[in-house]
Structures are given as structure tokens and as C-alpha cells.
Structure 1
Amino acid sequence: MKKWWLLTGVVIIIGIGYFYWANQPKVLNAWDENQETPVVLQNKILKINFSKKIDVQTIKGDTIYVTDSEGKRQNVSLTIDDDQRTVLIQPPVTGYNLSSSYFTLHIENGIRSTQGRKIKDIPPMKFIVERTLPVIGTKEKLNDYFLQAIKENKQKTRLFSRGDAIATEDSSDASANLKADSSGSGDFSETNVQVDGVDEADIVKNDGRYVYQILQDRVLITKAYPASEMKKVAAITFKEHELSPQELILYKDRLVVIGHSFKEMQAIRESGTSANDSALLPIHHHTLKANIYDIKDRSKPVLEREVEIEGSYLTARRSNNYLYLISNHHPNYWPLAEEKVKGKDIDLRPKVKDSADNDGSKYIDYKKINYFTDSKDTNFTIISSIPIDKPRKKARFTTYLGSGNQLYMSKENIFIAVNTYPDLTTDTRVEFSPDTSVYKFTFNEEVVEFKHSTEIEGTVLNQFSMDEYKGNFRVATTSGNTWNDDNPSSNHLFIFDEKLRKIGEITDLAQGERIYSARFMQDRIYIVTFKQVDPLFVIDASNPTKPKVKGELKIPGFSNYLHPYDENHLIGFGQNTKLVENSSVSEPFVQTDGIKMSIFDVSDMNNPIETHTEIIKGNGTYSPLNYDHKSLLFDKQRNIFAFPIHIYNYEEGRAQIENSFQGAMVYTIDMKDGFNLAAKLSHTQTEGKKRFEQWETEIQRLLYIQDTIYSLSRSKILAHELSTYEKIGQLDLRE
């Protein structure tokens, strides 16, 4: 009996000990003592993630602090997130002093959880501070970077296999907001772009007489004006795998064709790896290409220059005569973990080739590869600066290790947004949503130079959530998760000065919702969030240190595209929605029910009004404009608001949705009467309902030259007179 009681007592003691240990708060992202001392930038915000909610009263200067190499405490400030699990350590106002050889983060065990549990002991954590992005420098350091990534991936795989994952919310819903007259009011329309004077690549370009269009594996040049004389004048074709065109840039008498090349490799990246190891490495070579053609004679395009970068296409911009081509390269680094493959025989750097450089194909120099200190991603981001009109001047390649998933470019600067995730080293089921690091670069022709960085709570939806105005960088983000009550989503606006020091903010907008679109319009900022209704927030940012929400409008549906009509009116383009009750869940779910267009009167910032709406019915109806701002044709003077559309109607009791219209809709807009349908344009010959779309006759773009509007599909170009919409020209592109 005594033995039984003794055994029971031991079990109880062990149970109590385990319960105490399991509930003891831990730092989840403590740095591994065996890993290389991390390098951070001068204004780095350190972030500590705890496994339990922390008593705010125990977060103070004697429990969390930073010292320099001489033991002197730094003037940092502490803030704790609403989730009470994340502590942010703000750097000194002027940044960490670069004269110190290292710094140390101290986390003392005086910290308690909200349940009164003492924190588990954490050894001091050293870090090094640099002014600019650190350089890889050597092959050994690059291989070490990827070997560490392999180690961390294996750890994450083990976590996920037990069901322990960091949940993130998909932000794939694209939105767009364009400048009011990006199409201009001259003789011809141009691509709708975010920043006036910074052109964006597109599948169609127009110079007022000729139209340049990508058609699958070729680029077609068409003399479009006058419409009565419309004809094809040239076609740029490519050999198999040589170039698959994706987008175009037009600059004076030069046409840039951007696309991918996918070639079999004669050698395995010329790495020197033996044939016996070939199964470990890819046998194809995926590159991004930019071919520049002299088109002084539109009927005879002449290939003038080729630039080739290993990797995939992200985006492109043109400022004056320079093309800035942004790409990502994902190296196959896993062979480094194979015992029979020696790391010294594998070169993981991206290769580039420029016809203006006689050296031919070559690797990026190790000393010219920087890395984003806050990113754990294993891909290279490459910014290629290419002079369009100087075929003999070499391109310049600015290379960074780490992901840049969103890019905003003003007339002076490039901002790259990088998602950052907690580096959790301890098993946890606590959910942490990603945040964002923003890196600012100046550019001057071929020179792209890193300047500053900052960290932002939440994630950026797309390029239109970022803006630069009067030297200040402004960004809208969403943090948390929409459907998680323990870590609910909220939305924020942050304003930074030219050195990316935060000077103003609005936090915790529309808790439980997320951003669907944003529009920055000088001193006014408009943000649309959504979960079940569409709140439009009107923000006054005339004082960037104290931005204020002036008005809020809640309406059914959501706008994932905002377009300024004038300084007091906005056009919202998105989806009409309805709430559908479901007995199996506590909340009704949202169902889309067609396209919705709205006119918002924001002349009184305190009282925004939805003055007019237009709903294009059909719960399967969609437009490319919902996710691609370049598909809009807008001109205020000509009173055109036109976009491609697919109208799908679902009939009750039937198991399929039918496509009742495929084409484009052209509206006029009047502030008194609202939206007026001027024309429905279609390239589809068969009338009536169809089950499927007709891919070849889908209208992709609309443009105008003089008083003629053109609709372009993969099969034809139709021309209509703008005042009457009478068809005045047609060109079959399949002949």
C-alpha cells in the first residue's frame, strides 16, 4: 500500500511539474547560441514572441533592455501588441550607434504571464548592426546561408507534421487604384498606371497610330489608325523555347518584349558537377528575357539588344529611357544537403547575359550580392537597369538575397515590401500573422542604391497600398486573421519620413475585416475594408504626423478598385454581395452577386455618400478589372469608363452556370445621373447563352485613338466610332 501511495505521489509531482512547465511562458524566437550572430540594420525593430499572454506591467526597462559592447544601456522603447504575446523593441531615435562592435538583447525572468507564471530563463542574445544591407561576399557564406535554410525547413516540416503551423491569411484578392487621368486626354490612350510618369509593362501598347499586342507566342504590330485602313504590318516571332512573350514596354522608336525562355541545359549550369550526380540538379534552364527592337520602320522590327536573367518575372517599370526589370530566382539548393555532392562544386548564384557585354553569360559577383536581413526566403531579387535607347551601354544588375513580393515605384524611389515571419524555435500552436519589412532604394539611370528600411505591422495587399507624397512614404496594412477571434484582423495606416522613420499612424481600423483596396490622393487617403459590409474610410493626411479618419461609409458589397473621378468624387468597382444564412454556422456567409459600381461623393470628408450605383447581375459575373488595373480604359474628357466583362447567370435548380455575355461594357458617367451604358462590345459570333467562355474572342484590352475606340482580343480587333459606337473597322488576327 505504501508503494502504491509513493508511486501515486511521484506521478502527481511529475504531473504538477509538467503542468507548470507546459504553462511557463517561453520566448518562441530566441536566437540559437550555435548560429552565426545575426546582422540587423541601424533602425531595426526587434520583436519578441511569447508562448503565453504576458502581464503588461512586467514589460519594462529592467526586464527587457539592450546594451552595447561596453555594457551601456541603449535608449530603446517597448510596446506590446494587443495580443499580449508580442513585444516590440524600438531602436534609439537616431538608430543604434555603429561604433559599437555588437549589441546584446537581455530578457530577464522578472517577466510574468497573465497567470503569474515566471518566464523561462533566456540567455543574452547578441546581434551586429550595419548601416546598409550586408554583403554575401564569398561562396562559403552563400552556401552557409542555404545550409541554414535547409536546416530550418526540416524543422518546420517536423512541426507541420505534428499539426503545429503558423496560420496566415490569403491576400490574393487584387485591388487597384489609378490616377484620375492616367489614360490622358490627348490623341490616344496609354496604359493605366499607378504613378504619372512611371510606365508599367502591359500586354498591349499604343502610340497613336500603331498598336502592339502580344498574341500567344508572337508580338503583332498593327497599323490601327485610321480604322478604315487597319492592317497588320509586322509580326515578331520566336523559335520554340527561345522567348515566350508576356508584356511590352514602348519608348519612342523602341519596343521591349519581356518574356520567359525555357531551354534544356547542355551542362548542369556549367557547375562542374559530375554526370553521376545529374539527377540531383534541374535539367532545364528558366530565364527572364528582355528583347529590345528598333521599330523606326514598323514593318521591319530589328532586334537590337538582348538581356537575359536567370529566374522568373515579377514586374517592370520604365522611367524616362530606362527599363527597370524586377525578377526572382529560386536556386535549387537542396543538393547541398546530399553527402555525395560537394558544396564547393555547386554555384547557386544567378546567371545573367547582356548582348552589350562581350563577356557573355556570367554569374553575379559574390561581392555584389546583398541580403535582406529580415527575410528567410531563399530566392534572389534582381533589379536590372537597362538603357532602352543605348544598345551598347551595359545593363546593371542589383542583386539581393531574400524575397521582395510587392514593389512600388515613384518618380524618385523604389520601395520593396518583404513579408517577415516569426522565427519560432520552440514548438507552439500559437498563431502569429506575418509583418512587413520595407526597403527603400533610390535610382538614377542604371544606379539603384539602398537607402533606408523599416518594419511595419501587418502585410501589404499590393502596390496600391503604398505611396510616396512630399517625401513621405505611406502604407496601408492588415494584421491578424479575419476568422480568428484570438488574433482578429485589424487595419492600419503608417506614415514615414524620407529616412523611413515613423511620424504618423492610424491603427486598428475595422477589427475583424481586411483591406480590399486603397487609394492615396495627395492629402486624402481612402481605404476599403470588408468582411460582410464595405466600409469606406476617408482619411485626412494633410498633417502627416496626425492623420485622422474623417468619415466612414458602410454599404453592401465591396470595392476592390477605387478610381478618382475628380477631387471630390471616387468610382468604386467591385462585387455586389448578399448574406446567406447557414444553420450549421453561427454567422451568415457572404456570396458575391455580380459586379457593383459606385460613385462616392467625398466633398464633405466627414460624411461620404454613395450617390449612384450600377449592378451587373450574375453571381458568377466578373471582370479582369477586379484584379488588373491595366484593363480599364478611362478618360474624363471623352467620358469613357470601359472594361472587359464576363456575365454568368446561375438559374435556380440547375447545376451549371451559363455565360450570357462575353465582351466589354462602355459607360459614360454623370455626377447627376450616374452610370449610363453607352455600348456593349463583343467579339463572340454566336448569340445566346453558353456554358463556357470563348478564349479566342475574350476582349483583353480597350484603347482609343482620336475619336475611335478599339477592342482587342486574341482573334480580332474591332474599331467603333466613339460618338455613335458604329463599327467602322475590323481586322482578323488569325489570318
Structure 2
Amino acid sequence: MMKNKWLVIMLILVVAIVPGVFTWMVNTDVTAKAASTSMATQSWQASFSVALKKNKITEDYVFITTAKGQKVPATIELLEDQKTIVVKKLAPGNYQLHVKKEAFAQGGLNVSSQTISFTIIETLTAVKSEKELQQYFKKLLTTQRVGWGEEEKAESAASEDKATANNESTTNNQVDGVEEGDIVVVKDGFIYSVKDQSITVVNAKDPKHLKLATSIKLKESQYISKLALYDNLLIAIGDEYIEKAGTAMVTASFYDISNPGNPKHVRHVGQEGFLQDIRITKDTLYIIGNMYPNYWMLQEDKKAELKPKTFDSVAGSAYTSLPLEKISILPNTMDGTYSLITAVDLKNGAKTTANTKGYLGGSSGLYMSENALYLTTPIYENNQAAPSNKRVMDMIWLPRSADTQIFKWNVDGTTLNFAGSTEVKGTVLNQYSMDEYKGNFRIFTTEGNTWDEKSTSYNHLFILDEHLKPLGSVKDMAPGEKIYSARFMGEKAYVVTFKQVDPLFVIDVANPKKPAVLGELKIPGFSNYLHPIDETHLMGIGYDTEQRYDAYTKRNFTVTTNMKMSLFDVSDFSNPKEQSTVKIGGKGSYSDVQYNPKALFRNKEFNYFGFPVVLYDAGKGDEIVYQGHGAQIYEITADKGIVLKGNIINRNTNEPYENWEQVVQRVVYIDDALYTIARNEVKSYQLNDFKPLDTLTIK
């Protein structure tokens, strides 16, 4: 009786928390979800809330007509979920998909025939009118009436020469020639670092006498997450709430640092929404963000501003809505989020007007080469009607499986040309799971979820040509595991998967049509980040793990212990080896570099690699005990392996945990000195023996 009572309470809570979650139980019609446009190079698809009969996918029951009602030949397929129809081989034009009611597996529901209009396009075009824009969002609202809710989408030498001409640290960028920015940058003996609503400028030319050159004060509403350098420009990029515009904006503030002690503000650029990331290549800054308009106000017949706002102090002081000719709807998307891209020409002091374009179809992943920008977004499987073999609570609380949609732009300075889009199975981990090589795009994905015992997860590599057409693939690697890190190195690719052990796969991608796994290494633990040392060695930074037994579930489970760094020898591609390994700290120890490669310190002269660390150790039971914080520097070579050279740790066992203000954020070098940068202090050391030189306290 008590059990039934709690079941009723839980169902009431579900209804209260997730409005409309049981609509599928009483709905007497079919709900369809489909994009309004698709590229001629892609398939178009429509998903329904009710399953279809496979034997009814014939021209008598499911067919395509022109907008005027004339039948046209097309390839029509039903996917395995029995709810998604895929249409292929249509020329550009306006069409309608017709699905007769007899094609639906009714299951007791009183369904009706469906007609869906859509357009096949050859090139991406701008939105033509305010009415078209409103119709897009109104259609989006109707497709969201039923269902389980939509997840909101939330990671060259020439460029380095622009940033610095001296012997000093540069940002750990993924692609040569493409600058990514960081919270600390170095130029001409000065260190620029972000602290709250300010940028600290430290004169580090004399490491024995550090001086605070100045502090650039920012607005209280301005949160800076990136600093970047170009010639004598310091660019501060972040998110800011603009009261005058009544919205949050991604902003870029430009400063002339010809005189580092007296920076001059020269320009301010903004686009509505929130920052995804930035890139600088070929003298151009690209700001990529997402913006979510208040389109649900259309339900209440209220006036809603559906166009993103922009600002450019070069053009004037007004916050203006993006004109329609700069707004496009990405193909095969039904997403109320804009992907916004602002391009700024940095030549001659960045004085020309910025070019901002908006694309309806949000993004969460980003990769950029010198000539192309790729954005990715997850596509969640259609769960508009609950399958009978799944529990209601499982459907609500467990994440859905997803595939990945890829969008590509060819870039030439401030000119952005949409090149196409495609879809691949599974989801992408981060930017290091993507790469462009000789015009081809390579991407690693994980399909499924490792915790779902009823459905095995798989890992894939897909290689696409310059038009995003499939060339080759390696599928179904490491069943039951997921990708933890990946790295492409020319004609070889490396990927680490994990669930209980860490397999490192070596993949030959020299022939894009026939990629092949050459070798595999299984070791305990996993690497969060892979970094190339030379052509036949790479470093992995992550965690060690151990197996434990749960007496309640009577199952083994895996827990992380200490940090771990490995040197992998892949000179024999078919037999990769863990040549050298070190354990760092104890249980609970961590470093920013495990999740943000920008925290990696590199010095080629000494073969140094280092990072900030916070050290803990195992205490009683599951307790962890704070040991200290600072930075560690290692010499890493193929001959010597991994050798600890600098153990710059501030040990304070009297404190229960690290002091956030004093934790080292980045490690950099200038000539023969090394510097650790924390929020409230900068420390200098000799680079050859790490002898302390000076400490500058920052208030």
C-alpha cells in the first residue's frame, strides 16, 4: 500500500515538474518535427510522435509532391526508430511530404494524414522578410507542444609572430596559425592576466624586481574569459550585461598597448548572447557565440524582437538589430538558437567595421583551421512519444542519445561563405576530437551512453571531404566505453577511450578512404589530454584509477586516484607502449590542464612541459587531505622519458583546502625566467634551476 502511495506521489511530481510530459498518453493526433529547409547535398527528414508501418512506406501511402501537388520521384526511407522518414535525391525546390493515416501504426490512437512543406536549397540564402522570420519561430513553437522537452545547448607561425617576437611563452593553440587566446598572455616582457573586472599588467623584464605596470579597470558587469594579442593590440573578450541594450552581450574591448604602462582603449565590439570561443587567423578576429531570442512571447501575441543586437563603436554608439540580409536559417535545423559570428579585420589597428552574421541553428562545438570554420551541435533522438518498453522516470531523468550535425564555413578575412552541413553518428567530446587535413575534415564521436547497460556504446572516426561528403570511417571501436581524449597528428590519429581501463588506439589516416586501426595499448587510468612531443611520441595527462567492490550492488566499480602523466612511444604503430609514467600527488589531486590545455607550459629549449597543480592525498576512509598547491615542471624527451625538474609547491598542511586567490592559474616564461601567475600574486624563478627570484603581490 505504501509503495503504491509513493508511486502516485512520484507521478504527480513528474506532471508538476515536466508540463505536458504525459501528452502522448491522451493525444489523439500526430505531431511532426521537421526542418523547413535542407541542402540539396543532404537528405531531409521528418520525425513523428507515432510510429509508422514499414510495409506502408510505399508511393501509395508516403510520397513527395511539388508545392502545386504534382508527384515527384524521391528515395524515401524509414529509420530504425520507426518514427523518422528520410527523403533523398531531390533537386532544389519547394516540396510537400504526404503521409497517409494508413501508414501509421495507430496503437489505438485516432491519427490523421499528415502533410509537411519543406524546401531544398542549393546555397544558403538570407531571410527575406520579418514575416518569414516569425513563421520560423511560430513553427518551432508548434513542434515543441508535445514531447519531453528540448535540451538547451550550451568547448601558425605567422600568428605567433604577430603575438610575440621575443623568447617568451605563447598560447597552447591546437592549430598552427590559429590563435585561441587565454586568461594570461605575454608580450615584450609584460604579463597580462585577467582578475575579476580588471586586467593586470606586470612588468617582468627584470625577474628579480617585478613591478605592477598598471591595472586596466573594466565595467562591473563585464566578465572577461579571453585575452588575445595582435601586434600592439590587446583584445579582451567576454560576456557583459548591457543595461542600455537590455540584454547580455559578447563583447570585445581593444586596447593599444604600444605603451604597456598606459594602455589606450580604442574600440568596443559586441554581439548579443554568450561567448562560445574566439579565433584569430590571417589578420582577422572571429568571435563565435550563441543567442536565444524570446520567441515564446509569440504565443501570447506579444511583440518579440527576434533579431540579435550588435554594437560596434567604429560605426556609432547605437545598439542595433542585425539586418535580415545578415540572417540565415541553417539547413536541417529546428533550433531557436542563433549561432553568431563576428569577424573583425585587425590590420592597421582594427579600424574597419566589423561583419556580424547570424545563423538560426545553435552550436556547442567549434574547430577552426586557417581557411575554414566548423561548428557542431548535438541532435537528440526523437522521444516525442514514449516507447512502451521504457519507464516514464527513465525517459525523464536519463539523457537522450544524440548524433552530431556539422556546419562548415569557408573564411577569407571578414568574408564568411557557408559551405554545407552534414550529420554523423554519436557526439563529439571537444575541439581536439576534430581536425582538418589536406582539405578533409576528421572527427571522433561516441555513440550511446556507457552507463546504459541495455544499449552498448561505440566510438567512431569519420573522414569527410571538403564538401562534407563521407570518404572513410573506422566504426565501433571499444564497445561499452567512451572517448576521453583525442589528437590528430598528420597522417596518424590517436584516441583514448575508457570505462575500466585506458585503451590508446593508433589509427592510420593517411588514406582518407581507408583509415585503419594499427595498434592498441591497454593500461589502467585514462588521459584527459594528449599532446604531441615529436612524430613518434605523445604525452597523456589524466588520472590513475583503481577497481573497488560495492557490497550492496555486488559489483566492481572504478574510481580515480592520483593524477597521472604518461609518455607514449608510438614509433611501432602496431605496438604502442607506455614508455614512461609518473604519478602526481594522491587521491583528489588535480590540474586545470586536464580540462583546459591552455594551462600547459611549454619551453622547447629545455624540453620543458609543466602545469599548475593542487595536491591532495588519501585520508581516513573516503576523506582527502589537502597537501599544497603550485606548479610542476617536467623535462620530457624520447631518450630520458619524464623527469621532474621543478617542484614549485607551496605546502601548507594547516589549511583544509586550497586558497582560490593563491592557486596558480598559469605558468609562463620570458627569456631565462619562469613565472607563476595567481589571482593575487606573480612569482618569478630562474628557468634553469627554479630558484625563487621575486614575488609581486596584487591587491
Query: TM-score range, shorter-chain basis?
Result: 0.7 to 0.9
1:64-88: per-residue Cα shift (whole Å, max 9, x none)?
98656353423x486966xx75878
Name the residue aligned to 1:713. 678
2:492 maps to which of 494, 505, 524: 524
Name the residue aligned to 2:18. none
Query: Per-residue deviation at 1:613?
Result: 1.3
Name the residue aligned to 1:691. 656
User: Partners of 1:109 and 1:334 in 2: how far apart?
Assistant: 34
User: Partners of 2:489 and 2:641 in 1: how far apart?
Assistant: 22
2:382 pairs with 1:413: no
- Indicate the structure whose relative CO is greater, using CA pairs within 8 Å and at least 6 residues apart: 1
Name the residue aligned to 1:190. 170
User: Partners of 1:31 and 1:71 in 2: how far apart?
Assistant: 22
User: Partners of 1:517 and 1:90 in 2: how far apart?
Assistant: 35
Report if aligned partners of 1:27, 1:49 keep a CA contact under 8 Å in 2. Answer: no
Label 1:126 to 1:674 Cα distance change in 2 as closer, same or farther (>3 A). same
Report if aligned partners of 2:174, 2:432 keep a CA contact under 8 Å in 1. Answer: yes
Name the residue aligned to 1:502. 470
Name the residue aligned to 2:261. 299
2:681 pairs with 1:681: no
Q: Describe how 1:50-61 pairs up with structure 2 within 5 A.
A: none
SS across alignment from 2:560: strand
SS across alignment from 1:227: coil
Report if aligned partners of 2:32, 2:48 keep a CA contact under 8 Å in 1. Answer: no
Name the residue aligned to 1:337. 299
Query: Per-residue deviation at 1:486?
Result: 3.2
2:356 maps to which of 397, 422, 431: 397
Query: Per-residue deviation at 1:440?
Result: 0.5
Name the residue aligned to 2:624. 657
Label 1:614 to 1:506 Cα distance change in 2 as closer, same or farther (>3 A). same
Name the residue aligned to 1:727. 692
Name the residue aligned to 2:238. 259
2:374 pairs with 1:426: no
Report if aligned partners of 1:565, 1:636 keep a CA contact under 8 Å in 2. Answer: no
Label 1:79 to 1:347 Cα distance change in 2 as closer, same or farther (>3 A). closer
Label 1:335 to 1:29 Cα distance change in 2 as closer, same or farther (>3 A). closer
Query: Per-residue deviation at 1:49?
Result: 6.3
1:287-313: per-residue Cα shift (whole Å, max 9, x none)?
221111111111211111111222211
* Residue identity in the other structure for 2:331: T
Query: Per-residue deviation at 1:263?
Result: 4.0
* Residue identity in the other structure for 1:445: G
2:124 maps to which of 133, 141, 163: 133
2:274 pairs with 1:312: yes
Name structure 2 gaps, 5 residues minimum: 1-23, 156-162
Cα-Cα RMSD: 3.5
Name the residue aligned to 2:434. 466
User: Partners of 1:465 and 1:541 in 2: how far apart?
Assistant: 14
Label 1:660 to 1:88 Cα distance change in 2 as closer, same or farther (>3 A). farther
Q: Describe how 1:341-360 pairs up with structure 2 within 5 A.
A: 342-343=302-303, 346-358=304-316, 360=318
Report if aligned partners of 1:137, 1:368 keep a CA contact under 8 Å in 2. Answer: no
User: Partners of 1:606 and 1:29 in 2: how far apart?
Assistant: 51
User: Partners of 1:469 and 1:107 in 2: how far apart?
Assistant: 46
TM normalised by structure 1 equals: 0.81
SS across alignment from 1:155: coil
User: Partners of 1:524 and 1:725 in 2: how far apart?
Assistant: 36
Label 1:31 to 1:152 Cα distance change in 2 as closer, same or farther (>3 A). closer
Query: Per-residue deviation at 1:146?
Result: 3.1
User: Partners of 2:56 and 2:556 in 1: how far apart?
Assistant: 40
Name the residue aligned to 2:203. 223
SS across alignment from 2:467: coil
Report if aligned partners of 1:434, 1:458 keep a CA contact under 8 Å in 2. Answer: yes
* Residue identity in the other structure for 1:288: V
1:301-355: per-residue Cα shift (whole Å, max 9, x none)?
111111122221111111132111112222233333235xx33xx3232111111
User: Partners of 1:697 and 1:385 in 2: how far apart?
Assistant: 36
Label 1:78 to 1:63 Cα distance change in 2 as closer, same or farther (>3 A). farther
* Residue identity in the other structure for 2:237: I
2:569 maps to which of 601, 610, 613: 601
Label 1:262 to 1:63 Cα distance change in 2 as closer, same or farther (>3 A). same
1:97 maps to which of 68, 81, 91: 91
Name the residue aligned to 1:368. 326
Report if aligned partners of 2:37, 2:332 keep a CA contact under 8 Å in 1. Answer: no
SS across alignment from 1:367: helix
Report if aligned partners of 1:189, 1:206 keep a CA contact under 8 Å in 2. Answer: yes
Name the residue aligned to 2:17. none
1:345-389: per-residue Cα shift (whole Å, max 9, x none)?
x32321111111137221101232112233333222211111234
User: Partners of 2:87 and 2:300 in 1: how far apart?
Assistant: 41
Query: Per-residue deviation at 1:60?
Result: 8.7
Name the residue aligned to 1:71. 71
User: Partners of 2:224 and 2:526 in 1: how far apart?
Assistant: 34
Report if aligned partners of 2:333, 2:361 keep a CA contact under 8 Å in 1. Answer: yes
User: Partners of 1:59 and 1:707 in 2: how far apart?
Assistant: 75
Q: Which moved more, 1:357-366 or 1:717-726?
A: 357-366
* Residue identity in the other structure for 1:255: L
Report if aligned partners of 2:52, 2:103 keep a CA contact under 8 Å in 1. Answer: no
Q: Which moved more, 1:562-571 or 1:382-391?
A: 382-391
2:403 maps to which of 423, 432, 435: 435
Report if aligned partners of 1:185, 1:635 keep a CA contact under 8 Å in 2. Answer: no
Label 1:312 to 1:643 Cα distance change in 2 as closer, same or farther (>3 A). same
* Residue identity in the other structure for 1:553: L
Higher Cα Rg, which structure = 1
Query: Per-residue deviation at 1:404?
Result: 1.0
User: Partners of 1:122 and 1:511 in 2: how far apart?
Assistant: 41
Report if aligned partners of 1:375, 1:418 keep a CA contact under 8 Å in 2. Answer: no
Label 1:687 to 1:693 Cα distance change in 2 as closer, same or farther (>3 A). closer
Label 1:604 to 1:87 Cα distance change in 2 as closer, same or farther (>3 A). farther
User: Partners of 2:635 and 2:269 in 1: how far apart?
Assistant: 43
Give the strand-richer structure, 1 or 2.
Answer: 2
Q: Which moved more, 1:602-611 or 1:723-732?
A: 723-732
2:540 pairs with 1:572: yes
Query: Per-residue deviation at 1:133?
Result: 3.3
Q: Which moved more, 1:210-219 or 1:352-361?
A: 352-361
Report if aligned partners of 1:63, 1:109 keep a CA contact under 8 Å in 2. Answer: no
Percent identity of paired positions between Structure 1 and Structure 2: 33
User: Partners of 1:188 and 1:235 in 2: how far apart?
Assistant: 22
Label 1:254 to 1:589 Cα distance change in 2 as closer, same or farther (>3 A). same
Name the residue aligned to 1:38. 36
User: Partners of 1:721 and 1:328 in 2: how far apart?
Assistant: 44
User: Partners of 1:568 and 1:404 in 2: how far apart?
Assistant: 34
* Residue identity in the other structure for 1:38: S
2:459 pairs with 1:491: yes
1:380 maps to which of 338, 363, 366: 338
SS across alignment from 1:228: coil
| Equivalent pairs, count | 654
Name the residue aligned to 1:9. none
Report if aligned partners of 1:618, 1:649 keep a CA contact under 8 Å in 2. Answer: yes
